[in-house]
Structures are given as structure tokens and as C-alpha cells.
Amino acid sequence: MIARIWRGWAPQATADDYQRHYESEVSSHLRGVDGFRGARLLRKDDAQEVMFTSVTLFTSADSGPALCRRGL
């Protein structure tokens, strides 16, 4: 099993929109990827922005979207 971690930041004003996008569009796409085993979106709010950490799980480094396999 391999976990891929991505971090991103959003202004407070649009953070809920990003979270909804991840939970609907991104999650839906990931379920169709060979080797996908699960995902979690972590959220840390602060006064002006929100940090998101996405953890996606795949069966191996050879599975997952091609973009994730670059540079391995």
C-alpha cells in the first residue's frame, strides 16, 4: 500500500467550495482509478485561510493516476 499526500491552501471565503468539489468531483474520479483504496481530506482552519491535506491510498506505486507516478 502507498499513501500519496497533497497539500493546498484556500481563502476562508472559498474553502467550503473546494471541500464540496473534493467530496463530489475528485472522490468520484478517484473511485474509478485502478488500485485506489481510499482517500481522506483533512482540513485545518486558521484566521484567513484553510489548509487542506489530501491523503489517497493505492495498492502500489504503480497504481493510481499517471500524474502521481511521475518521478517515482
Structure confidence at residue 1 as a pLDDT band (50, 70, 90): confident
User: What SS3 class is residue 27?
Assistant: helix
How far apart CA 31 and CA 57 sit, in angstroms, is 11
> Considering its fold, how many domains does the chain have in total?
1
Structure confidence at residue 62 as a pLDDT band (50, 70, 90): confident
Report pLDDT digits (tens) over 9-45. 999 999 999 999 999 999 999 998 889 999 999 999 9
Q: What is the pTM of this model?
A: 0.79
Structure confidence at residue 72 as a pLDDT band (50, 70, 90): very low
Alpha-carbon separation of residue 69 from 7, 8, 24, 29, 62 (angstroms): 17, 19, 23, 17, 7
How far apart CA 34 and CA 59 sit, in angstroms, is 9
Q: Whole domain around residue 30: which residue ranges?
A: 2-69
